[in-house]
Amino acid sequence: MSVADIQIEKDLHHDGHDDHHEQSFISKYIFSTDHKTIAKQFLITGIFWALIGGGLSVIFRLQLGFPDMELYWLKPLLGKWITAEGKIDSEFYLALVTMHGTIMVFFVLTAGLSGTFANFLIPLQIGARDMASGFMNMLSYWFFFVSGVIMFISFFLETGPASGGWTVYPPLSALPQAIQGSGAGMTMWLVSMVFFIASTLLGGINYITTIINMRTEGMSFTRLPLTVWALFLTAILGLLSFPVLVAAALLLVFDRSFGTSFYLSDIYIGGEALPHIGGSPILYQHLFWFLGHPEVYIVILPALGITSEIISTNSRKPIFGYRAMIGSMLAIGFLSFIVWAHHMFVTGLNPFLGSIFMFLTLIIAVPSAVKAFNYITTLWRGNIKFTTAMLFSIGLVSFFISGGLTGIFLGNSALDINLHDTYFVVAHFHLVMGSAAFFGMLAGVYHWFPKMFGRMMDERLGSIHFWLTFVGVYLVFFPLHYIGIAGFPRRYYSFTSFDAFQTFTDLNSFVSIAAALTFFAQFIFLFNFFYSIFAGRKASLNPWKSNTLEWTTPRLPGHGNWPGAIPKVFRWAYDYSKPGAKDDFIPQTVPLSETPESNLPNEVEEAKAEAKK
Amino acid sequence: MLNLIIVIAVVLILAILVTVFRVITLVNVAKGEGSKSVPPTNRINALLLMLFLIAGLFGFFYFSFGGLQDDFVLPLASEHGAVTDRLFWITMGITCFVFIVTQIFLFGFAYKYQHKEGNKADFYPHNNKLEVIWTAIPAIVLALLIVSGWKAWSDITGKAPDNAEVIEVMGYQFSWSVRYPGADKSLGDSDFQKMDVTNSMGIDFTDQASFDDFIPTQLVLPKGRPVLLKIRAKDVIHSVFQPHFRMQMNAVPGMPTRFWFVPTKTTEEMREETGNPDFNYELVCNKICGYGHFGMKYSILVLEADEYDQWYADQQAWLKLNDDYLSEVPDNLKEAARIAAGIDNVISVDKADKALVSN
C-alpha cells in the first residue's frame, strides 16, 4: 500500500513542478486515464443507453396497451418493422423486449451504474490519486464503448437484432430457422457481450486492486464508506461470475457456427431433422444463470451502497448497523452464487435440486430484510433533509421492499409453478432490481453531481422529476402483479388469441400510458443535468455536509484529486450528530484527539494513542 | 410547411420554458436560497411522502379487494392447485403485512423526522438486540414457508400414481400435438429422425406399442383421475402452461419432462361456475419461441371419467388413418399392427378393441 502511494505522490510532485503540463483534448476527454473522466464517460454513455432502452419499452408498451392502434407514424423510425396494417411486426416485438432487457441490465444498470460510481467514488472515497491501473481503466471504458457500438449496429440488420429474450436460451437463439433475430443479430449480440464482459473484468480487477491496496492511511476496512464496500463486493461478484457467461456464449458460438452440439439435441425444424445429438439446452440455462443471478446483485448492490451513504448523510445520523450492513452484503454476495437454479424450477430440473434451491433462495431474503430494516431505522429520529438524492434513496428502499417481498413467492418452487414467466415475475424484478437500481443511479447522480461538475443541479426540477418518476414507476409495475396472478404470460405480443387473457385491457392501456409519461419525465432530468453542467449554481466544497473524503478535494479536483498530500483518515464515515460535537457532522479527516468533547468511551484511548504520535 | 411550423412552435415553447426556468433560478439566487443548507422544497416533499403513503395504501386496498374491473384470481381446477393456492394466500398474507408495516414506517418516519430548525438527530449507530430480533424473525417465518413449500413441491413433483392416464404433449412452432397410448395404455417410442410432414410426432413404428396410439385434435382429460403428461419439444423450448390447473412445465428438445395432476372440474362445470357458456380450457405456451409465441394454444376438454372412457374407446389409431406408414412396420409385426390399429378388418373397431381386451 505505502509503496504504491509513494510512487504516485512522486508522480504528482513531478506534475506539480511542471505546473499543469497541458494535455491534448484527446488525452484529456477521450482516451483519458483519469478515473473521474472515465466515470463521466460511463455515465453519459449509460444515459444514452437508458434513453434507448426506455424508448424501446415505450414502443412495445404501445403494442400491449393499444393493440388496435395504427402505428404508421413510427414508420420513419422502424421502417419495415411496421407491417402493412400499421402494426409492429410480432418478431420485431420480441427483438424489442430482448434489446430492452439486454440494454437495461448490462449497459445501463451494470456499466452505467457500477462503471460510473465505482470509477468516480472508489479513489475519492478511499483517498487514492487514481485507480491502480489508469490504462486498464481506460480500456474498460473503450471495450464497453465498442460493445455498445456493435449492439447498436445490430438494430440496422436486415434480419433485425437478437430476439430470443435477453437470456437468449438455445435452441431458439442458436437456430436462424426458428427466429430471424438468431441470424446475424445474435452473432453481434454474442460478440458485443464478449467485449462487454472484457470491459467488466478490466474494471472489476481495477476496483478490487485499488480498494485493497490504495486506501489512505487510517482507512481500514472497518472505516470504509458502505458505497465502497458495496462496489468492492460487486466487483468480486462480477469477476467470479462474468467469465462463466463467456464460456456459455462461446459454446453457443460453437453450436451456431461450427456444428457442435453442446446445447442442441433432437431437433426437427424447417422440414428437416438436424444432425445435433446429445446436447442439453438446460446446460446453457445453468451456465447463464450462474452469471445471471449474481448479475442482479451486481446491479442492486452498488445502488444499495449509494443509498446507505445518502440516507445517512441526509438523515444526519450514522447508518444504523454499519457492521450488519457489511455482513448482510457479504451474505447476499455469497448466497447469490448458489441460488441460480430458482430461475429453472419448471425446466424439468430434478425436483430435489428444486428443493435445495428453494431453501437457499429464501435464505437470501434474510440479509435483504436486515438491510431494509436498517435503512428505516436510520430515518428514525433523524433530522431529514429531502434533497433530490434523498428522495430517490427513499424511493429505492420502497421499491426494494415491494419488489423484494414478491421474491418470496417466486423463490418458493411450489408457487413458481403457476407464476413462472408471468407478469408477476416482470413486476417483481422491475421493482426490486430494475427500478431500485435505477433510482440508486439517479440518487448517486444528484448527490455527487457537485463533485463531478462543480455545480449544483436544480433541486426544484429534481423534486418534480422524482415525483413523476416515483409515482410513475409504481403505476407501471404495481398493476402488473394483478395481471401476473391472472396468469398473463410475459413476452406476448398480444393477448387476443386466448379466452383466458381477454381481461385487463383497460389496465394494460393504463400501464402503457403511465410508462410513456414516466419515460418522458426523464427529459426533465436530462435538461437539469446538461443545463447544470454548464450553468448550474456553483457548488460549495461540501454542499451536503458530508463526512467522506471526496468532499475534502477542491471544487473541481484535478488529476491526482488532492493538490497536496492525501488526507489521513481517523474515524469512520458516519459520525453524524455525535453528542457533544458542535456541528452535526465530523469529517473522516478530523482526528479523534481534536474532538475530545464528542469522543465515545471506547474512542478515548484511541485519541490518546493518536495524540502521542 | 405544417411540420415546419410544428417544429418552430416546439422550439419556441422549449425556449420559453428554459427562460422561465432561468428567471426563477436567478430570483432564487437573488433571495440567497443557495446559502441555505436545507432544500427549499423540504416541507412540501415531506408532506408529499405522507400523501403518497396514504394514497398508495388506499389504492392498494381498493384495487386488491374488488376495485378492478376484472377478477385477477382464476378459478381453480386441479387437486394440487388447492395446495399451492392456499400456500400462495398464506404467503400473500405474510408479505402484505410486512409490506404495509414497513412502508408505513418508511414514509411515516420520513415525514415525522423531517428537518426542523434546532433539532438534532439521534446518534444511534446500532442496537445488537434489535438486529438479532429482526434477523431471527424473518428467518423463522421463512423457514415455515420453506417447509410448507417443500412439502407441496415434493408431492407435486413426486412420482405419478400407477393408474395415471399417460398422455404425450409435444410443442412445436407454433402449436401442440398430443398423443394417447391407445388400448394397450402404453405409448410407443418416438424418434425425431422419423418425423416428416405427416408423421409430425415422429412415431417409431418398429415399436409394437405404437400401433394403437392415437393423435386427437384436442387434449381431452378425465375429471378426477390423475393425468401424467409426458412432455417434449420438436424444435425450440416451449412451456406447457395451464393457469386454471396451476400447472406448468417446460417442453425441452432432447430432454423429456413430465408433470402430473388431477383435473377437478369438467369444461361443462367450469362453464357453469364462470357463467361463460363459451369457456374452454386452453393450453398456453409460456416460453418465448418465435413470432407466433403469443398464439400458440391448444384446446383442452375435460370430461367426466365415464365420458372420457367412451371418447377414448371411440378414437381411431393414427396408423389406421395413415396406413401408408404400415410400410415402416417390420414384416413380422405387420399382422399385429393391422389388428392393433384396426386396419383391413371386416370386424368393426369396437370388436377389435374387445378382441384386444380379451388378449
pLDDT at site A234: 96
Q: Is the pLDDT of residue A42 over 50?
A: yes
Helix (H, G, I), strand (E, B) or coil at A82: strand
DSSP state of A111: I
Confidence at residue A10, expressed as pLDDT on a 0 to 100 scale: 44
Please indicate, yes or no, if residue A512 is contained in any of the structural domains.
Answer: yes
Q: Is the predicted pLDDT of residue A7 greater than 70, yes or no?
A: no
Quick check: A362 and B145 CB within 8 A? yes
Set of chain A residues whose Cβ sits within 8 Å of the Cβ of B116: 383
Confidence of residue A2 (pLDDT cuts 50, 70, 90): very low
A458 touches chain B (CB under 8 A): yes
Would A378 be classed as within a structural domain?
A: yes
User: What is the per-residue pLDDT for A111?
Assistant: 95
Instruction: Read off the pLDDT of residues A388-446 as tens digits, 9 standing for 90 and up.
Output: 999 999 999 999 999 999 999 999 999 999 999 999 999 999 999 999 999 999 999 99
Q: Does A523 touch chain B (CB under 8 A)?
A: no
- Which residue in chain A has the smallest CA separation from B296? A497
CA distance A104 to A151: 13
Q: What is the mean pLDDT of chain B?
A: 91
Q: Is the dihedral of CA A179, A184, A187, A189 positive or negative?
A: negative
User: So what's the pLDDT on residue A211?
Assistant: 96
pLDDT at site B67: 84
Residue A303 belongs to a domain with what CATH number? 1.20.210.10
Domain count for chain A, please give it: 1
Q: So what's the pLDDT on residue A572?
A: 93
Q: Is residue A435 in some structural domain?
A: yes
Whether A499 and chain B come into contact, CB under 8 Å, resolves to: yes
Of the candidates B38, B106, B142, the beta carbon closest to that of A365 is on B142
DSSP characters over B64-104: IIIISSS--SPPP-BHHHHHHHHHHHHHHHHHHHHHHHHHH
Residue A380 burial (C-beta neighbours within 10 Å; 0-12, 13-18, 19+):
middle
What was the pLDDT predicted at A610?
A: 78
Residue B11's contacts (CB-CB under 8 Å, 6 or more residues apart) are: none
Query: How close is the nearest chain A Cα to the Cα of B338, in Å?
Result: 28
Count of helix runs (H) and strand runs (E) in chain B? 9, 9
Cα A479 to Cα A422, A482, A485, B277: the distances in Å are 13, 6, 10, 29
Separation of alpha carbons A347 and A167, rounded Å? 14
Interstrand relation of B257-261 and B227-233 (parallel, antiparallel or unpaired): antiparallel
- Residue A108 in 3-state DSSP? helix
Q: Do B68 and A482 count as a contact with CB atoms less than 8 A apart?
A: yes
Confidence at A605, pLDDT banded by 50, 70, 90: confident
Provide CB contacts within 8 A for A334, sequence distance 6+.
none
- For A206-256, write each residue's pLDDT tens digit: 999 999 999 999 999 999 999 999 999 999 999 999 999 999 999 999 999
What is each CA distance from B76 to A80, A486, B246, in whole angstroms?
43, 11, 8
Q: Which of B291, B43, B234 is nearest to A459 (CA)?
A: B43
pLDDT (0 to 100) of residue A565: 93
Q: Does some domain include residue A521?
A: yes
Per the CB < 8 A criterion, the answer to whether B80 and B261 are in contact is yes
* pLDDT(A140) > 70: yes
Contacts of A279 in chain B (CB under 8 A): 254
pLDDT value of residue B26 = 82
Binary contact (B290, A172; C-beta < 8 A): yes
Is A605 a member of any domain? Answer: no
Closest alpha carbon within chain A to B52: A471
Q: Please tell me the predicted confidence (pLDDT) of residue A6.
A: 43
- What value does the mean pLDDT of chain A take? 92
Confidence (pLDDT) at A585 = 93
Is residue A15 over pLDDT 60?
A: no
Residue A489 one-letter amino acid: P
Give percent of chain B with pLDDT exceeding 90: 79
Q: How far does A68 lie from chain B, in Å, by closest CA?
A: 16
CA closest to A362 among chain B residues: B142
> What are residue B179's DSSP bridge partners?
B168
Q: Is the pLDDT of residue A3 over 50?
A: no
What is residue B282's three-state secondary structure? strand
The string of pLDDT tens digits covering residues B32-47 is 766 677 888 899 999 9
DSSP assignment string, B200-233: TT-B-TTSGGGTT-B--SSEEEETTS-EEEEEEE
What pLDDT digit, counting tens, does each position of B118-175 carry?
888 999 998 999 999 999 999 999 999 999 999 999 999 999 999 999 999 999 999 9
A529: nearest Cα among A603, A613, A435, A458? A458
**Is residue A609 in some structural domain?**
no
Shortest distance, CA A359 to any CA of chain B (angstroms): 6
Question: Sign of the CA dihedral A96, A102, A104, A108?
Answer: negative
pLDDT one-digit tens code per residue, B59-83: 999 999 988 888 899 999 999 999 9
The residue ranking higher by pLDDT, A562 or A3, is A562
**R_g of chain B, CA atoms, integer Å:** 32
Q: Which residue of A has its CA nearest to B86?
A: A415
Specify if A239 maps to a domain: yes
Q: Which domains does chain B have, with CATH numbers?
A: 42-115+128-158 (no CATH), 165-358 (2.60.40.420)
Q: Is the pLDDT of residue A153 over 50?
A: yes
CB distance from A415 to chain B under 8 Å?
yes
Q: Distance from A64 to chain B by nearest Cα, in Å?
A: 12
pLDDT of residue B34: 64
Q: Which residue of B has its CA nearest to A313?
A: B121
A285 min Cα distance to partner chain B (Å): 12
Q: With 90 as the cut, is the pLDDT of residue B199 above it?
A: yes
The whole-number pLDDT of residue B35 equals 65
Cα–Cα distance for residue pair A595/A318, rounded to 1 Å: 17
Residue B221 CA: distances (Å) to CA of B216, B246, B310: 12, 15, 12
Radius of gyration for the alpha carbons in chain A, expressed in angstroms and rounded:
25
Residue whose C-alpha is closest to residue B21's, from A462, A468, A385: A462
Mean pLDDT computed over B285-296: 95
Going by their DSSP bridges, the two strands B297-303 and B238-242 should be labelled as unpaired
Task: Output the nine-digit C-alpha cell for A149.
Answer: 457500438
Structural domain range at position A87: 2-19+32-552
Instruction: Specify the pLDDT at position B118.
Output: 85
Number of Cβ atoms within 10 Å of the Cβ of B57: 15
Lookup: cell for A74: 413510427
User: Hey, are the CB atoms on A386 and B41 less than 8 Å from each other?
Assistant: yes
CA distance A161 to A114: 26
Choose between A197 and A606: higher pLDDT. A197
**Residue A386: which residues within 8 A CB-CB, separation 6 or more?**
A314, A463, B39, B41, B42, B45, B46, B49, B110, B114, B115
CA B69 from chain centre, in angstroms, equals: 22
Q: What is the pLDDT, as a whole number, of residue B276? A: 92
The arithmetic mean of pLDDT across residues A290-303, rounded, is 95
Given a contact cutoff of 8 angstroms between Cβ atoms, the answer to whether B275 and B315 are in contact is: no
**Closest chain B CA to residue A93:** B291
User: Is residue A420 one of the residues assigned to a domain?
Assistant: yes
| The residue to which cell 453442446 is assigned | A262
Please list every residue in chain A whose beta carbon sits closer than 8 Å to the beta carbon of residue B103.
Answer: 398, 401-402
Where helices occur in A364-458 by DSSP H, the ranges are 365-379, 388-410, 413-419, 423-429, 436-453
> Could you tell me which of B180, B356, B105 has the C-alpha nearest to residue A375?
B105
Residue A8 has what pLDDT? 46
Rounded to whole angstroms, the Cα distance separating A581 from A570 reads: 16
Write the residue in A165, A316, A346 that is nearest to B288 by C-beta.
Answer: A165
Cell of A500: 383466458
Least confident of A473-477, A533-537, B102-106: A533-537
Interface contact A317, partner B, CB < 8 A: yes
pLDDT in the model for residue A158? 93
